[in-house]
Amino acid sequence: MTLQPATLQLRVVAVRELNPLIRMIRLSADDGRVLPAYTAGAHIRVHVTLPDGTQDWRHYSLINFETQADATDAPTDYVIAVRREAEGRGGSRFMHERVKKGDLVTIEAPKNDFPLHTGLGGTVLLAGGIGVTPLTSMATSRRAEGLPVRMHYAGHSRELMAFLPELQALLGDALRIHADSEHGAPFDISALLDDFPSGHRLYVCGPKVMLDAVLAQTQTRGWEHDRVHFELFTTPVVEAGDHAFELELAQSGRCFTVPANQSILDCLIEHGCDPLFDCKRGECGVCATLVLEGEIDHRDYVLTARERTEGNVMQICISRARGERLVLDM
């Protein structure tokens, strides 16, 4: 079963095209009432209609540039930004093409799976592309608290990077911008980590390739697990070598074929099962499932190296079978 937060019906009160790919949307209640509070790093889920007519939810981080200490304690609106993904399943196209000012949309109340730490130590934020959205609120929160913060913001070009004026006004010299088109190369993660302040924590949000590189390099350097915090701003994609495999549910005896282009989780849902899940990106750990037989191709960001080696649990939203068959304790 899915987790079911409270839902709200909100009006689209403003829409702004930030650049050819990114659209900002402001939502509020018709009666102007106060909306549920949120903290930096939180997101809402918006109900969307896909091109085939099916209904689904999309996760969008809440954006805040108001530096009053209580700015998000009693908000009267929510602001999100949506990047158009031409190769996606259609959620972002719905938000770009069909959502307009004056429309009512259904959302789930804010939830925070990517919170800022409390206590001593400074904060370094690393944003890749549209992954900047949750980090805007984090930078604002740290400024409001008077705590040390700096942001590295990487993208293909300045023209396609959102909120540059707002971030420059907020952070000044604490904002470092890297445009691939200007540097002729991707952002240098090694250089960032070589110059990383002692006692600071790193928050990363961006594409999978960025997150994978950060985690690999911080692990090599012996960083403690809780010094790196992240959110992945992408959805699972078909990788080279992905293949169909047989899936057996030991408790019910049911068997399915999971196609190369479908996750185990989506296969189960399609066949009427009701597994527990949330993020669908291998971050939250909610869909962890015991594996009784078969070798796992782990792709999550939750399990420890030891748990992966033991090979008896997997995140069914993103991980797959290495071989031809898996048996799950379901």
Is pLDDT at 284 greater than 70 in this prediction?
yes
Side-by-side strand order, sheet with 55-61: 55-61, 43-49, 104-111, 7-17, 22-28, 78-83
Fold agreement between 7-111 and 245-328 = no
Q: Does domain 123-232 have CATH number 3.40.50.80?
A: yes
Tell me how far apart the terminal alpha carbons of the chain are, to the nearest angstrom.
13
Question: What are the pLDDT digits (tens) for 86-103?
Answer: 877 889 999 999 999 999
User: Quick one: 103 exposed, middle or buried, by C-beta within 10 A (0-12, 13-18, 19+)?
Assistant: middle
* 287-291: average pLDDT: 93
What is the domain partition of the chain in residue ranges? Answer: 7-111, 123-232, 245-328
- From the centroid of its chain, how far is CA 172? 26
Q: What is the CATH number of domain 7-111?
A: 2.40.30.10
Is pLDDT at 263 greater than 50 in this prediction?
yes
Is pLDDT at 267 greater than 70 in this prediction?
yes
Measured over the CA atoms of residue 217, residue 222, residue 223 and residue 224, the dihedral's sign is positive
Is pLDDT at 300 greater than 50 in this prediction?
yes
- Confidence bin at 236 (pLDDT 50/70/90): low
Measured over the CA atoms of residue 262, residue 268, residue 271 and residue 272, the dihedral's sign is negative
Strand bridging mode 228-232 / 22-28: unpaired
Q: Closest by alpha carbon to 275, among 296, 256, 301, 297? A: 256
Q: What is the CATH number of domain 245-328?
A: 3.10.20.30
- Confidence bin at 264 (pLDDT 50/70/90): very high
Is pLDDT at 280 greater than 90 in this prediction?
no
Q: What's the confidence (pLDDT) of residue 251?
A: 94
Is pLDDT at 3 greater than 50 in this prediction?
no
